Amino acid sequence: MRYNVSQLLKDHIGATRHYQLQADISDLDPALTPLTDLAGTVDLIRTNDGILVRADMHTSVELNCSRCLTQFALPVRFRIDEEFHPTIDITTGARLPQPDDADAATQIDIHHILDLSEIVRQDLTLALPLVPLCRTACKGLCPDCGKNWNDGACDCEQEELDPRFAVLKQLLDDTNIQNN
Ligand SMILES: [Zn+2]
Ligand SMILES: [Zn+2]
């Protein structure tokens, strides 16, 4: 995910390089468990101030269902649309002034290497669901015996109403009374 952009930086505004990407991202982030390589297309476009990266990527990651705790594979697709900025002037070799809020993740290094990995890590993480579910209608685990209800019902006596919902129902009833 590292591109030498020295030639592109010398090119005219709008000049574009098109790449196919296939990268092993197993070491990208200890919090992520990718099951496949990251694959997709990357366009590098010369802009006035730097290089615009437009990428379309996909992979598959292993997650734990937040209801039934089962591990499952989630295909993820995400786009990158990010401008990178050089730290060295390509013609003079002089260091370029950086804005105070310069983001190291989008800086082209002094050897004119544009490294996509940190942006990929951030955008891939953002593309993941906050509450992962193995399926939309995951039934979860029985709170008493722990059986995975996706595999069938258990023999526990189930209350008419889950106590957590009873509290919610009470709140709703109270709200209705106030509104009436
Ligand atoms: Zn589940
Ligand atoms: Zn049970």
Mark whether 81 and 162 lie in a shared domain.
no
Tell me the ligand closest to 155's alpha carbon: 2
| Residue 111 binned pLDDT confidence (cut-offs 50, 70, 90) | very high
Asked which of 41-50, 90-99, 149-158, 166-175 is least confident by mean pLDDT, the reply is: 166-175
Q: Is residue 66 in a domain?
A: yes
Mark whether 85 and 174 lie in a shared domain.
no
Mark whether 37 and 69 lie in a shared domain.
yes
Calculate mean pLDDT across residues 122-144. 95
**Token pair for 3:** 């591109």
| Residue 162 binned pLDDT confidence (cut-offs 50, 70, 90) | low
Q: Is residue 134 in a domain?
A: no
pLDDT of residue 100: 79
The pTM of this model reads: 0.80
Tell me the ligand closest to 144's alpha carbon: 2
Mark whether 74 and 159 lie in a shared domain.
no
| Residue 177 binned pLDDT confidence (cut-offs 50, 70, 90) | low
Domain count, the chain: 2
Q: Is residue 138 in a domain?
A: no
175 with 94: CB under 8 angstroms?
no
Mark whether 24 and 76 lie in a shared domain.
yes
Mark whether 19 and 104 lie in a shared domain.
yes
What separation in Å is there between the alpha carbon of 129 and the centre of ligand 2? 28
Q: Which range marks the domain in which residue 165 is found?
A: 149-179
**Token pair for 137:** 């209608």
First to last CA, the chain: 61
Mark whether 81 and 153 lie in a shared domain.
no
How far apart are alpha carbons 151 and 94 in whole angstroms?
Answer: 65
What separation in Å is there between the alpha carbon of 123 and the centre of ligand 1? 24
Mark whether 101 and 166 lie in a shared domain.
no
Mark whether 36 and 115 lie in a shared domain.
yes
Asked which of 16-25, 68-77, 91-100, 128-137 is least confident by mean pLDDT, the reply is: 91-100
Q: Does residue 157 surpass a pLDDT of 80?
A: no
Calculate mean pLDDT across residues 91-95. 90
How far apart are alpha carbons 68 and 46 in whole angstroms?
Answer: 48
Q: What is the pLDDT of residues 47-89, one digit of tens each?
A: 999 999 999 999 999 999 999 999 999 999 999 999 999 999 9
Element (H, E) at 76: strand 71-86
How far apart are alpha carbons 28 and 107 in whole angstroms?
Answer: 18
Mark whether 76 and 116 lie in a shared domain.
yes
Q: Is residue 102 in a domain?
A: yes
Question: How far is the CA of 115 from the CAs of 56, 57, 87, in angstroms?
Answer: 16, 15, 13
Arithmetic mean of pLDDT over the chain: 91
pLDDT of residue 97: 85
Q: Is residue 50 in a domain?
A: yes
What separation in Å is there between the alpha carbon of 146 and the centre of ligand 2? 6
Q: Does residue 178 surpass a pLDDT of 90?
A: no
pLDDT of residue 34: 96
What separation in Å is there between the alpha carbon of 138 and the centre of ligand 2? 16
pLDDT of residue 77: 97
| Residue 129 binned pLDDT confidence (cut-offs 50, 70, 90) | very high
